[in-house]
């Protein structure tokens, strides 16, 4: 099968493209620039890499033609962020391509009222990103239900892996959290330490995409969660992280008002966005329908990210890892 992967050198594509090559597919990776993937792999030598600015091409109504020029049997879209962009691609592919697999997000769901969240059963999203992604998923499902293009949506959790920083124990990207944990200092947690976050290694996300392509008929018109087998609470995450540096955990729960007063607006908003949602998603459907078998528990995936960041001088910590 000939597969075009839009966003092929990003977090998911870094692992998905080599998987597809190993499975015997011809792969065309479409990316905005020429940045290499996050992890080198010999399979990239067999990949045709194409540079295209999707945003500009969408404005000109030309992006669908760019994709179709490579005669795909299937398309993986890792970079659709608006319904208009997704709709334009669907209209170009309809009747000419066998399967479109779209990358959604766990933020299509709002704050949890029951966990684990099963596909389509979460509360409505409350921010623009989640709302637009939910609209795209609904658009694609309706397209397939109407007898049009076969589509599938894969909803990843908080993606981690070598090459980029994970969402941290406070639900934000503040690097000082890691210096505090590695030094054994007290971590001040807003609102309580029981909120859940659901991480996933990028290679496990790539596995779901590969399986959706391999099981087109079963996956057509469906949504699948791509997350780790379990989710971490703030306390569980922080305890694991402190242990990686041989330190005991020390937490202090504070109010959101206190937290906002002592960190940046960006970090406070990110923490609220992650912890208020309190997400834990089910993977029962991906397991039973596609045969999904995640390799990584969330703490294992996060540790791989942190190890890479430290080894590549991208994260300042108070002491070495002891694991």
Question: Is the model's pLDDT at 33 over the cut of 90?
Answer: no
Pairing label, strands 48-51, 74-77: unpaired
**82-137 pLDDT tens trace:** 999 999 999 999 999 999 999 999 999 999 999 999 998 999 999 999 999 999 99
Q: What percent of the chain has pLDDT over 90?
A: 98
Residue in the block written with tokens 């469906």: 222
Q: What percent of the chain has pLDDT over 70?
A: 100
Confidence of residue 34 (pLDDT cuts 50, 70, 90): confident
Phi first, then psi: give them for residue 255, nearest 5 degrees.
Answer: -80, 160
Confidence of residue 35 (pLDDT cuts 50, 70, 90): confident
Question: C-alpha 252: how far from its chain's center?
Answer: 30
Confidence of residue 203 (pLDDT cuts 50, 70, 90): very high
Q: How far apart are CA 136 and CA 232, in angstroms?
A: 28
> What fold characterizes domain 2-159+199-226?
Rossmann fold (3.40.50)
Question: Is the model's pLDDT at 68 over the cut of 90?
Answer: yes
Q: How confident is the model at residue 264, as a pLDDT?
A: 98
Q: How confident is the model at residue 18, as a pLDDT?
A: 98
Summary mean pLDDT of the chain: 97
Domain boundaries, the chain: 2-159+199-226, 165-197+230-278+298-311
Closest CA to 133 of 169, 103, 172: 103
pTM of the model: 0.97
């Amino acid at each position: 099968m000939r597969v075009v992967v839009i966003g092929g050198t990003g977090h998911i594509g870094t692992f998905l493209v080599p998987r597809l090559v190993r499975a015997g597919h011809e792969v065309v990776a479409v990316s905005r620039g020429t940045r290499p993937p996050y992890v080198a792999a010999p399979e990239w030598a067999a990949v045709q890499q194409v540079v295209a600015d999707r945003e500009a091409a969408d404005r000109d109504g030309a992006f669908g033609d760019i994709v179709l020029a490579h005669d795909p049997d299937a398309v993986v879209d890792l970079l659709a962020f608006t319904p208009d962009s997704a709709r334009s691609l669907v209209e170009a592919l309809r009747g000419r391509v066998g399967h479109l697999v779209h990358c959604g997000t766990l933020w299509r769901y709002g704050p949890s009222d029951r966990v684990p969240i099963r596909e389509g059963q979460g509360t409505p999203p409350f921010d623009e990103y989640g709302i637009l992604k939910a609209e795209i998923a609904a658009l694609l499902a309706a397209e397939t239900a109407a007898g049009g293009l076969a589509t599938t949506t894969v909803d990843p959790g908080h993606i981690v892996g070598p090459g980029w920083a994970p969402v941290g124990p406070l639900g934000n990207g503040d690097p000082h959290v890691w210096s505090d944990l590695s030094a054994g200092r007290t971590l001040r947690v807003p609102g309580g330490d029981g909120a859940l976050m659901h991480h996933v290694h990028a290679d496990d996300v790539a596995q779901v995409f590969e399986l959706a392509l391999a099981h087109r008929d079963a996956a057509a018109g469906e949504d699948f969660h791509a997350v780790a087998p379990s989710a971490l609470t703030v306390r569980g995450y922080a305890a694991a992280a402190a242990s990686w540096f041989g330190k005991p955990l020390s937490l202090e729960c504070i109010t959101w008002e206190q937290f906002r007063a002592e960190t940046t607006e960006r970090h406070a908003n990110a923490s609220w966005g992650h912890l208020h949602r309190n997400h834990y998603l089910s993977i029962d459907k991906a397991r039973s329908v596609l045969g999904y078998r995640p390799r990584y528990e969330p703490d294992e995936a996060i540790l791989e990210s942190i190890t890479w960041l430290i080894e590549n001088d991208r994260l300042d910590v108070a002491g070495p890892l002891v694991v």
